[in-house]
Amino acid sequence: MSKHTFVAVVIIAAVALTLLLPRPQAAVAGGGVFFVDSTGDESDSNPGDCRCATAGGTCTLRAAIQEANACPGHQIIRFDGTGQWMTIRPGTALPALTDDETTIDGGDMWQFVGDDLVPGVILDGDGQAFSGLEIQGDNCQIFGLEIINFGHNGILVEGAHTMIGGGGDFLRNVVSQNGQDGILITGDTATDNRITGNYVGTNPIGTADEWGGVSDWGNGNHGISVWNGDRNIVEHNVVGTNGWSGITADAAQDVTFYANRIGVDVVGQPIGNRNFGVHIGNGANVTMTNNLIEFNQRGVYVTGAGSQASIEANTIGGNDATSASPPTGGGILVNNGAGATIFENDILANTAEAGGGIAVSGSGTWASIASNLIQANRVVTSAPPLGGGIYVEDAIAVIAHNEIANNNVDGTGGMGGGILFRNVSWGFVVENEIHGNWAASSDAVAGLGIYVWGGGGIQITGNRIEGNGYGSVGTVYIDNADDVTVGENLIVHNTNSAGGAVFVHGSSDILLENNVIAHNIYDAGLYIHDSTGWTTVKNNTIANNSEDGIGLYHAQLALYNTIIASNGGYGVYDRDAASNPSSIGIGHNDVWGNDSGPTNRADVHFYLGADPRFFDAANDQYGLRTGSLCIDTALSAYAPSDSYNGLSRPQGDGPDIGAYEMAPPTFLPLVLRND
């Protein structure tokens, strides 16, 4: 016997047994069970006698709710349709459930449609201007119903500790095609409720491609909405095709969204909500974990002063915000004074005009973005597309320990394949893997690793920035910014169409220290153009780049303790040296083995011109071998206190030139042994 045949036999047997037994239409004072046996809409003939009976002697849902409200104890409303579908069409709003501990359970009425089990009790509002079920009491439960076509909400919860749905078949509800929200929790007293395991805005089997198509099933507004109430939990639901957001929280505290499928059906097909997968606003505080959020106009939207979200361990993919307002943040948008902690998520293949993966914008807005995979996101527009992976504007962001990979800037004048800061006054980019970000064309795309545009107060430290390109002007691009630190980064194997692996334009108070800038293709390792103030370069290793080590054009360069070796052009090349030479201050650098020579400036001389004796430059190992003249010979006054390889300076008689600090060799004592 198949499992479907077995379930059908169990259901039929249960119905047959119910028919053989007297129907317990009376509930004793301690609580009892009412069996709805009519699809009619008549009222109870004598509310309060604890018998569900209309004038015609039947039990309707309206009559059962009237008696449940009037009778003491825990009342259960079940359905007796003799094995047939029951479609109930209320002519006016059903009474609200006002008594505590009332259960409406349609779980023993489920029916097979082909191989699929679906609710056998259908509440159909015929589009009338009221909600399907309204729950004002506490500790109530709603199981196993299909609630559709009400002009207002499918289910309205105003009480506390209510359960809507449950795990597995027979307990979940299908709540779709309602004019406002599918399920609405609202009011200060609506606390500690749980919405679990339901299909909201989907067809009865939770898929996209049957039962009349996707567009026939969405609720008009949100799928599930939490307003004002605290400590509510929304978990394990399938939510799709709704007219606004899948799940939303407004002015509610300590809300949890857990393990929901939002915009994607039970077999992984798109059922995107028309606007956002998740919306958090009006000062709400939400923790969302382990959700799958795909194919919506935007994945997650956190907005408004005081709104906060902890977004952890979710998969957010395939969302497209190019038609949203604003068209930013395809995966996640945090704006207008909100804050978010974004941790250990997979943010994949989202699209926007700015911030394909994540956008953070607006005064007072902040985000901590840590340990995420931000991959294959895309920005595209006829205006400059900005920030393929992450876009931060006029906000505060800490971006740490992420893998930011293979994001795409598609459009003329685009900026920031991995990360773009725009007019940011405080931000950190720390220990990220930024690789494989690319441009769809070579039309003046800039900063395919990191782009800093205006503002300042940015620290870019400890990142591995590798293999970004093609078509970029500068892999790390600092443009009209002040007070930016680039330190202890490995910037290697990037491909640029102009500029350098690090390109500083129109900026001042820029500090590069302890970086390894190597094996980059075109134009220079570091290029400084039209300085408005000094760029200070201390203890870097700039080696094996295809053109110049450092290129200058109307620049101000302070160069100390740096190795510039084996580059394809000059060590330091001043492009307008004849008519408008750059300002250069130098001390204790080693410039050696560059194809065109140390420099084209006759007035510039370097401390060393010796082989730095790298450990294994071909494999980006730029530590110094014993005997290197760069060991212990840097200017102490300009040497940072730490190094690229994590050792403090100095380790020997003085600090070392270059990004690495080498520990002195250790000599073990000679031990004599008598045999």
Q: Give per-residue pLDDT as tens, 219-272.
A: 999 999 999 999 999 999 999 999 999 999 999 999 999 999 999 999 999 999
Tens digits of residue pLDDT in 560-580: 999 999 999 999 999 999 999
Confidence (pLDDT) at 83: 76
Phi, psi of 469 (to 5 degrees): 140, 170
Helix (H) or strand (E) holding 659: none
pTM beyond cutoff 0.85: yes
Residue 392 predicted with pLDDT over 90: yes
Confidence (pLDDT) at 670: 54
End-to-end CA distance of the chain: 83
Residue 217 predicted with pLDDT over 50: yes
pLDDT classification of 671: cutoffs 50, 70, 90: low
Tens digits of residue pLDDT in 531-560: 999 999 999 999 999 999 999 999 999 999
Please, how many CA atoms are within 13 Å of residue 240, restricted to the half-sphere of its CB?
33
- The C-alpha atoms of residue 484 and residue 500 are separated, in whole angstroms, by 17
Confidence (pLDDT) at 213: 47
Structure tokens belonging to residue 297: 């106009």
Domain ranges of the chain: 23-296
Percent of the chain with pLDDT over 70: 93
Confidence (pLDDT) at 497: 85
Structure tokens belonging to residue 166: 């449950």
**Cα torsion angle, 436, 440, 444, 445, sign:** negative
Confidence (pLDDT) at 648: 98
pLDDT classification of 441: cutoffs 50, 70, 90: confident
Q: Which of 305, 288, 312, 289 is nearest to 226 (CA)?
A: 288
- The C-alpha atoms of residue 202 and residue 214 are separated, in whole angstroms, by 7
Residue 3 predicted with pLDDT over 50: no
Contact 125, 93 (CB under 8 A): no
Residue 327 predicted with pLDDT over 60: yes
pLDDT classification of 114: cutoffs 50, 70, 90: confident
Structure tokens belonging to residue 225: 């909405």
Fold of 23-296: Pectate Lyase C-like (2.160.20)
Q: Which of 85, 119, 105, 112 is nearest to 6 (CA)?
A: 112
Maximal C-alpha separation, the chain: 114
Phi, psi of 183 (to 5 degrees): -130, 125
Q: Where are the alpha helices (DSSP H) in 298-348?
A: none
Residue 16 predicted with pLDDT over 80: no
pLDDT classification of 667: cutoffs 50, 70, 90: low
Phi, psi of 315 (to 5 degrees): -110, 120
Mean pLDDT of 368-389: 96
Q: Which of 263, 178, 169 is nearest to 216 (CA)?
A: 178
CA distances from 362 to 141, 380, 658 (A): 42, 21, 39
pLDDT classification of 18: cutoffs 50, 70, 90: very low
State the DSSP string of 394-405.
SSEEEEES-EEE
Helix (H) or strand (E) holding 297: none
Phi, psi of 108 (to 5 degrees): -95, 15
Tens digits of residue pLDDT in 592-601: 999 999 999 9
State the DSSP string of 153-209.
-SEEE-SSS-EEE-SSTTT--EEES-SS-SEEEESTT--S-EEES-EESS-TTS-SS
Residue 10 predicted with pLDDT over 70: no
Contact 450, 476 (CB under 8 A): yes
